[in-house]
Amino acid sequence: MWYEIVPPETPLTQGDIVEACPVLTFDRAPEVPNPAAQEAIEDAVQEAAVVQFSRVIVMTQACDIEQSNVRQVILCPGYHVEAWRNSGNG
């Protein structure tokens, strides 16, 4: 096997595949009357947000994660080859 399954307490790193990762998506664009109003933005996001569980791959550089140089990580959708082929892409 060219990969290994690691326990949840293992620190996240670049290239990790996360199964059923909760990803915040929006069923519609949040409408914010005044972009400068932080509270209005937060309310609009909460109203339009939907949590989707997706298979993702961590794209953020391992060194940035390890040294705590980032507050957020970049995720990329991860598809099984069969699902990708069946979608008409392969």
Residue 39's pLDDT is what?
78
| pTM, to two decimals | 0.70
Q: Closest Cα to residue 32, out of 12, 46, 50?
A: 46
Domain boundaries, the chain: 17-89
Residue 70's pLDDT is what?
95
Helices (H), 1-56: 38-48
Residue 90 has pLDDT above 70, yes or no: no
CB 25 within 8 A of CB 53: no
List pLDDT tens digits, range 16-74.
999 999 988 776 666 666 767 777 777 777 777 788 999 999 999 999 999 999 999 99
Kind and range of the H or E run holding 22: strand 17-26
